[in-house]
Chains A and B, each alone.
Chain A
């Protein structure tokens, strides 16, 4: 049985597909989108995050850490990330929830009971389980194993993906995936590269591929003024040529993830500006006029 690296299980997830869902977050992502709101999902390795604003300098973590990564001076709490082996003993002892440990190696057997525990809610609301991340298809074998087990249980499955994975990854999960939540961020390769650090031809080709294989697809367009707002019409025109799309959602960018970057010791790349209601409305109507789908939100 394969193992996977995950960083969270969110119950009562209601923005990751239809109905009440449980979302399993895979750790590791090939893209580095400037607006990423789950930076803890980028690295494949477990990480310790330290939220300074919650810390009351009690010293409990220093006692718990065998590597001495946490120390206290007059200036306060110093977390030396270089010494940290990412084992996370400090998380459990912190009385103020200032330390979060992201990353857990699990097998399908271990995680499945948690994914199934809200089954009654899925049935009563038309929900199910969503695999997200990070990029869940970077661990395609593990994802496929979980998805197939869920399908055996009769659970509705969704795969939330950036599309930046080898086509074979899709082949592995296609038989067990009821709907793909597929991100399209830009059509112009230069814009895409500036936003995500990568070229987009693989993403667009994979989208056409799964469409040709008959997949149901919900498109998600993160809308980030100053980055991809000029791309909206091009995206809509492109989508109009792709079959199997059931919904298109414009996801307005929010900048609420800033504290996570600091806590993880990462450079904060988040754009400052969030879209105004007017910008959002005009983006939605641009999509609507170019891609006449009925379920736009």
Chain B
């Protein structure tokens, strides 16, 4: 393996994707777009127009070479066929009056999701680009010979051929550019490119090279960010074994892995790129984790699939990295993921071959188009809507049902809005590159965004669960049991942001049961709400052959939606963020980390196929040394045994974070796990920084 040592190359890989941006030629961009648009418009079938536009893009966009990188994929992506999709999307956007009202009020949002899915990488790596072209040609030939063949299907296969031939052109143009470059690595790189232009990859390096080519192709030609890389330790393992057989040393494998991981990391400003490591670890799993740890990278994000088969040794190795400040890991519970997918009608066989999309959203690989980020609904706003009306209700049950009716209205509106836009997908989004990796789409000759996948799903996320539950219990106790205040008077106090109601607020915060504190009353109410939410979302028909999936994560919406929310009955002040993911309200996890884990695992997470995560923060002093690792393991194992969905950890002290606020330049490498991904702490805005510190300070 004749390549530049990674340690030498490393610094020249930083920012390589941004540097390409600077070289983008604006004039050329416009003419490129006009040409692609003309090609697209000239075709009767959009899909074929798109396929041809993709081909044209790869034939004409500028390609670049970073002589220090051993994998090539740089091209000008400032103007891609994505723009066609965006224009078509914009032209068709037409929101309902209810949607407009709810968005304005900060109650919900609903949108198209072109991103959150994953190609079937196993097929890509097994067939290679030429293999997929051959398959599409064969299907096209067979379709043309069939009596009653449809032009639509033929157009689909032709589009696949056009797009994939475009990818071949892209590979060859990169190879030619690399061949003209003087670098110790250029022969190596050029050979890998030549190989994957001709056939399926055979070596680990070829497979890795194809990973980058294909990722870029689907992202910038199909137009989809946030596509996962799949279980890379499993997918690359056959190539690893073959390499070892033909005498490649472990150190050479490690060197390739360093390049591979670091290159994804250098791409990070473009998208949140996750991969996962399988619950059954192999030798490559350990190589990936150890190299990743040594590089100390914030990206790509790693989903750790956990099952009874996952070796404790691997978990302890990862916990050690988490302890050292590497927060890229989220632990996902395989058993729960599979039953959650089964609950939305995915077969056991398909569910078993799952991957994780975006933050922690599961999806059946090559079978499901999950669209994990369509609708988002602020639960606490439903309570506000009801209180605001100033009506009274005879008992808590009637009040509660009225609030849930409001939640149902938010969700139905979100679902309608998603369906409204998704119905237009055949005129907006065509993805020949992605679709060709789905066996069902190939068999049907239909794009996955037009219903080509086996499961064509959509999603709604409900968030702010702790703020919501604490607020409901506050009303139950203060209004109906202790009779301290009437509902209309409570709203007056909330509208005044607790002015004159400080004593009530203290009583609510100090004395009433809280979500996430192991309280049976709060846990039972949460369970009831989760079941009701599941009935409102899960398995609702989305009108394109699929169903909706319920999620309970919040990402960073807690800030924007919190700003629009008045003071809430749980004691929260106006404008403050609502609760995050499955976490308790800040300062209200009164029984500590074990209490929140117990409460959260009281809920049926198999009702949350779109995903949910618990964030826990531990002070570094509590997890020192080997004993500390056992303690983290004990927490993790109890969460998983209790059928919790996913969990992520921050091992940080609030003192460190405060110091980082004061002297950010000294803490540029400090990573934190926030909402669903890890970031450099100093890159966060002040509100997000303070929210994180507050969530840790109540220890």
Q: A: which residues have CB within 8 A of B?
A: 10-12, 14, 18-20, 58, 60, 63, 91-97, 117-118, 120-121, 124-127, 297
Contacts and interface: CB of A to CB of B under 8 A. Distances in A.
A204 B598 CA distance: 41
User: Among A19, A93, A124, which residue has the most Cβ atoms of chain B within 10 A?
Assistant: A124
Contact of A124 (B593, B625, B634): B634
Interface string B605-634: 000000000000000001001011011011
B156 to A, nearest CB: 51
B518 A117 contact: yes
A20 B616 CA distance: 15
B598 A118 contact: yes
Contact of A121 (B594, B625, B627, B628): B594
Contacts of A127: 631, 634
A94 B592 CA distance: 21
Q: Which of A12, A58, A97 has the most CB of B within 10 A?
A: A12
Interface residues of B, number: 29
A283 to B, nearest CB: 18
Interface of B: 502-503, 505-507, 509-511, 518, 591-595, 597-598, 622, 625, 627-628, 630-631, 633-635, 637-638, 641-642
B641 A12 contact: no
Contacts of A20: 594, 631, 634-635
B634 A19 contact: yes
Contacts of A93: 503, 506-507, 510
Contacts of A91: 510
A169 B630 CA distance: 33
A96 B506 CA distance: 7
A297 B621 CA distance: 14
B634 A121 contact: yes
Given A11-B594, A97-B510, A121 B635 contact: yes
Nearest to A64: B503
A95 B631 contact: no
Nearest to B640: A124
A95 to B, nearest CB: 3
A287 B502 CA distance: 54
B505 A95 contact: yes
26 contacts: A11-B591, A12-B592, A12-B593, A12-B622, A18-B627, A19-B631, A58-B502, A58-B503, A60-B502, A60-B506, A63-B503, A92-B510, A93-B503, A93-B507, A93-B510, A95-B505, A117-B518, A117-B594, A120-B641, A121-B597, A121-B638, A124-B633, A124-B641, A125-B631, A125-B637, A127-B634
B511 to A, nearest CB: 5
Nearest to A126: B630
B333 to A, nearest CB: 14
Nearest to A20: B634
A14 B507 contact: no
B632 to A, nearest CB: 9
Nearest to A15: B622
A18 B503 CA distance: 41
Q: Pick the most buried of A58, A94, A95: most chain B CB atoms within 10 A of its CB.
A: A95
Given A18-B627, A95-B510, 15 more contacts: A11-B592, A12-B594, A19-B630, A58-B502, A58-B503, A93-B503, A93-B507, A95-B509, A96-B506, A120-B598, A120-B642, A124-B637, A124-B641, A125-B633, A125-B634
B510 A11 contact: no
A133 B286 CA distance: 45
Given A11-B595, A58-B503, A92-B510, A120 B631 contact: no
Contacts of A97: 510
Contacts of A95: 502-503, 505-506, 509-510
Contacts of B635: 20, 121, 124-125
Given A58-B502, A94-B506, A117 B598 contact: yes
Contacts of A92: 506-507, 510-511
A50 to B, nearest CB: 15
A169 B625 CA distance: 35
A11 B517 CA distance: 11
A144 B598 CA distance: 28
Most buried by B among A14, A97, A127: A14
Contacts of B506: 60, 92-96
Most chain A CB within 10 A, of B503, B509, B625, is at B503
B503 A125 contact: no
Contact of A125 (B510, B511, B592, B630): B630
A120 B502 contact: no
Nearest to A94: B506
A10 to B, nearest CB: 8
